[in-house]
Structure 1
Amino acid sequence: MLFSKLTVLSFIQNNNFKTQPMVSSDIQVQFFQYLKSLLPPYKSLVDEISDLLDISNDSAYRRIRGEKFIDLDEIKKISQYFNVSLDQLFNLQTDAIVFQGKLNKYDNLSFDAWLDDMQAQLEMVNSHKNKHIYFLVKDMPPFYHFYQEELANFKFFFWKKSILHYDNLKGIKFSLEEGFTQKYKEACSKITRLYNKIPSTEIWNVEGINTTLRQIDLYTEMGIIQSVDVSKKLYQCMLEIVDHLEKMAEKGKKFGINQEPSEDSLEFRMFVNEFIIGDNTFMAEVDSVRITYLNHSVLYFLGSRDPKFNDSMFVSLENLVKKSTMISSIGEKERNQFFNKLRKKILLRMEALV
Structure 2
Amino acid sequence: MQELFIKYLKSKSNNNTSFVDEIASVLDIGYDAAYRRINQKTSISLEEGVKLAKHYKISLNKLFEVGSSTTILADLSPPIHNIVGLEMWLKQSYNNVYPLTKLKSATIIYSAKDIPLFHTLKDSYLSRYKMYVWLKDVDPEMTRNKISFDHFIKNIPDSLLENAFKLGQVYKDINITEIWNNTTINGSLQQVLYYFESGALSKELALLICKDIEDVVHLIEKQAIQQCLVGSKNKSIYNLYINDIHTMSNTVMVKTPHQKVFFTPFTVISYFKIEHQPTCELMHEFFEKQMSISKLLVNAGEKDRSLFFNRMHQKINRLRDRIIIDNDAFDFE
Hey, what's the Cα distance between the residues in 1 that align with 2:246 and 2:205?
A: 33
Partner AA of 1:350 in structure 2:
R
Q: Runs of at least 4 residues of structure 1 off by over 6 A?
A: none
- The alpha-carbon deviation at position 168 of structure 1 amounts to 9.1
The alignment status of 1:65 with 2:35, answered yes or no, reads no
Partner AA of 1:112 in structure 2:
E
The alignment status of 1:56 with 2:30, answered yes or no, reads yes
Residue aligned with 2:199, SS:
coil
- The alpha-carbon deviation at position 343 of structure 1 amounts to 1.0
* Contact 2:90-2:167 at 8 Å conserved across structures: no
TM, length-normalised to structure 1: 0.83
Q: Which residue of 2 aligns with 1:276?
A: 246
Hey, what's the Cα distance between the residues in 2 that align with 1:42 and 1:335?
A: 43
Partner AA of 2:179 in structure 1:
I
User: Which runs of no fewer than 5 residues in structure 1 stay unpaired?
Assistant: 1-26
Q: Which residue of 1 aligns with 2:21?
A: 47
Q: Which residue of 1 aligns with 2:176?
A: 200
Residue aligned with 2:298, SS:
coil
* Contact 1:104-1:164 at 8 Å conserved across structures: no
> Where do 1:152-167 residues align within 5 Å?
152-166=127-141
- The alpha-carbon deviation at position 295 of structure 1 amounts to 1.5
The alignment status of 1:310 with 2:285, answered yes or no, reads no
Q: Which residue of 1 aligns with 2:98?
A: 123
Q: Which residue of 2 aligns with 1:15?
A: none
* Contact 1:147-1:241 at 8 Å conserved across structures: no
The alignment status of 1:300 with 2:276, answered yes or no, reads no
Deviations 1:174-204 (A, max 9, x none): 1285134433443343223211111111100
* Contact 1:85-1:98 at 8 Å conserved across structures: no
The alignment status of 1:104 with 2:79, answered yes or no, reads yes
Hey, what's the Cα distance between the residues in 2 that align with 1:89 and 1:133?
A: 22
- The alpha-carbon deviation at position 70 of structure 1 amounts to 3.2
RMSD value over aligned CA atoms? 2.4
Residue aligned with 2:44, SS:
coil
The alignment-based identity, stated in percent, is 25
Hey, what's the Cα distance between the residues in 2 that align with 1:167 and 1:77?
A: 44
Partner AA of 2:132 in structure 1:
F
Hey, what's the Cα distance between the residues in 1 that align with 2:10 and 2:69?
A: 23
Partner AA of 1:340 in structure 2:
N
Deviations 1:177-235 (A, max 9, x none): 5134433443343223211111111100111111111111111111111x211111111
Residue aligned with 2:183, SS:
helix
Q: Which residue of 1 aligns with 2:162?
A: 186
Residue aligned with 1:328, SS:
helix
Residue aligned with 1:254, SS:
coil
* Contact 1:251-1:329 at 8 Å conserved across structures: no
Deviations 1:322-347 (A, max 9, x none): 10011136432211111111111111
Q: Which residue of 2 aligns with 1:234?
A: 209
- The alpha-carbon deviation at position 105 of structure 1 amounts to 5.2
Greater displacement, 124-133 / 109-118: 124-133
Distance 1:108 1:231, change over 3 A: closer
Deviations 1:10-67 (A, max 9, x none): xxxxxxxxxxxxxxxxx22331122223336544332222222222222222332334
Number of residue pairs aligned between Structure 1 and Structure 2: 322
* Contact 1:327-1:335 at 8 Å conserved across structures: yes
The alignment status of 1:172 with 2:142, answered yes or no, reads no
* Contact 2:13-2:56 at 8 Å conserved across structures: no
- The alpha-carbon deviation at position 106 of structure 1 amounts to 2.7
Q: Which residue of 2 aligns with 1:133?
A: 108
The alignment status of 1:221 with 2:191, answered yes or no, reads no
Hey, what's the Cα distance between the residues in 2 that align with 1:237 and 1:223?
A: 20
Q: Which residue of 2 aligns with 1:85?
A: 59
Deviations 1:253-274 (A, max 9, x none): 1114xxxx89x53211101111
Q: Which residue of 2 aligns with 1:12?
A: none
Residue aligned with 1:55, SS:
coil
